[in-house]
Amino acid sequence: MDPDYKRPKITYALIIINIAIFLLVFSMPEEMMNAVFENFALSSSQMGEVWRWFTSLFLHASASHLFFNMIGLYFFGKVLENEVEKKWYLSIFFVGGLIGSFAFIMTSGMPVVGASGCVFALMGAAMLLNPVKRVHFYIFPLPLAFVAIMFALTTTIVIYFQPEMGGVAHIAHFGGLAAGAIFAFFHEPKRAMKGLLVLIICGAVLLILGPVLALITGFGGLMLSVIDTVIGAVLYTIAKLLSFLWI
């Protein structure tokens, strides 16, 4: 293990908080749960209610929505937490989430929930500051730059096969990604520029290896769909068991 490695306590804490909130919300009677989304989601008509800016980041519309955000948070959050100070890590998480959310509500009349903007902000910063960090994507040890590209592709593919994930706020993903990338260039411009070059090279390699990429992302998409279904069933079962809290 790298002697400079620090246990990513903030990343783990954020994952636990998101899962705990999901279980509590989905353990509620339907009317109460709908009221939570109505009062804590963010939309263009409710921008003046500042608490929604933050509460909306911790609400997820489904188990699939939660699962894919937490997978991204785990992969990219723990890498970035070892690269920057805690205050910067949290700043990237929340500012990226807010930029992503505002980008969506300014272009859509629909409300937005979820940590997608936060996760993509962490990914944007991590893949530029440490693009060659080796991580495991399914069973494959790959540089983080490859994983970032394939994560985005795989989750996009999975979304097409998950009806409950319709209405995904893709613009929020781009907003968060841009926020993370901008931070990386301001934080360590030379390192971020090198990271960008590595990312471009990785993208070119993946383009050249199109059939291999299609095989890996296809396999990964199928694998994630299966895992998502199993974990979703577990989460909904736990939430149902917690319903006694509201009796």
pTM: 0.87
- Domain-by-domain residue ranges, the chain? 9-246
The pLDDT of residue 241: 95
- The rounded distance, in Å, linking the Cα atoms of 84 and 86 is 7
If one compares 79 and 136, the residue with the highest pLDDT of the two is 79
User: Could you report the per-residue pLDDT of 78-89, keeping only the tens digit for each?
Assistant: 999 999 999 999
Output the average pLDDT for the chain. 85
Whole-angstrom CA distances from 198 to 121, 142, 201 are: 18, 13, 5
Nearest C-alpha neighbor of 129 from the set 74, 204, 181: 181
DSSP state of 44: G
| 168-218 tens-digit pLDDT | 567 888 889 999 999 999 999 999 999 999 988 988 887 777 666 666 666
CATH number of this structure's domain 9-246: 1.20.1540.10
Among 46-50, 99-103, 144-148, where is mean pLDDT lowest?
Answer: 144-148
- The 3-state DSSP class for residue 133 equals coil
